[in-house]
Amino acid sequence: MTLLAENLTQSRGSRLLFEHVSFSIKPGETMLLTGPNGSGKTTLLRTLAGYMHPISGTVGLGGGGAAGSALVEKCHFVGHLNALKPQFTVQENLSFWVQFFGPTAYAGRVVTALNRLNLVDIADIPAGYLSAGQKRRLGLARLLLAPRPIWLLDEPTAALDASSAAAIETLISEHTDGGGLAVVATHLPLNIPRLRELRLGLPEMG
């Protein structure tokens, strides 16, 4: 399954962010989105996830996939906000996501996620009391609750220390090694194999 973007143009209000952006990402690949703040990295991720409609252009799947709602169901989108319920404990947040993802997820993966993201010792603490790095790890833990081939990640290593960032790099590498693909917006370097880069940012008009 290949993620295809063709001639995407997108704006924020009256300001053009990017235009005529085209690419394809194959299973096993990671695309790194880079560019200055305000260049449209988050907007492009949200467009790929189906949360925003482009001004022009299309997003779809090659190799037997489909666009629209079918594409949304094949994506994990983790934005720069962690989408946590602050009154729920760490484990309750993960259990909520299991219910949200439905039949493709199961409760047994909660234990795996707690262990892989080093959350076991804080599993009973409400999310509202966590540090920024702990919240980020919890937000990313839902990637492990339901298998989806496309990961769309916005600044996944923000607020993480070196060891936690390395753990996220390992998760992404394992995902692509298993035939998944990833699009990652970041201003930080990532140590991930088969990494491609797409730099956004329209030239300034003089």
Average pLDDT, the chain: 92
Is the pLDDT score of 34 beyond 50?
yes
User: Which residues, including other chains, have CB under 8 Å from residue 10's CB and lie 6 or more apart?
Assistant: 16, 17, 18, 19, 40, 43, 44, 47, 52, 54, 55
For the chain, the first-to-last Cα distance in angstroms comes to 42
Q: CATH code for 25-36+66-187? A: 3.40.50.300
| DSSP label of 63 | S
> How many Å apart are CA 29 and CA 17, to the nearest integer?
25
What's 9-26 look like in SS3?
EEEECCEEEEEEEEEEEC
- β-strand partners of 55: none
pLDDT tens-digit series, residues 130-160: 999 999 999 999 999 999 999 999 999 999 9
pLDDT tens-digit series, residues 48-84: 999 999 999 999 998 754 555 578 889 999 999 999 9
CA 189 from chain center: how many Å? Answer: 16
Is the pLDDT score of 167 beyond 70?
yes
Please indicate whether residue 125 or residue 189 has the higher confidence score (pLDDT). 125
User: What are 59's two structure tokens?
Assistant: 């997003």
Residue 65 · residue 71 · CB < 8 Å: yes
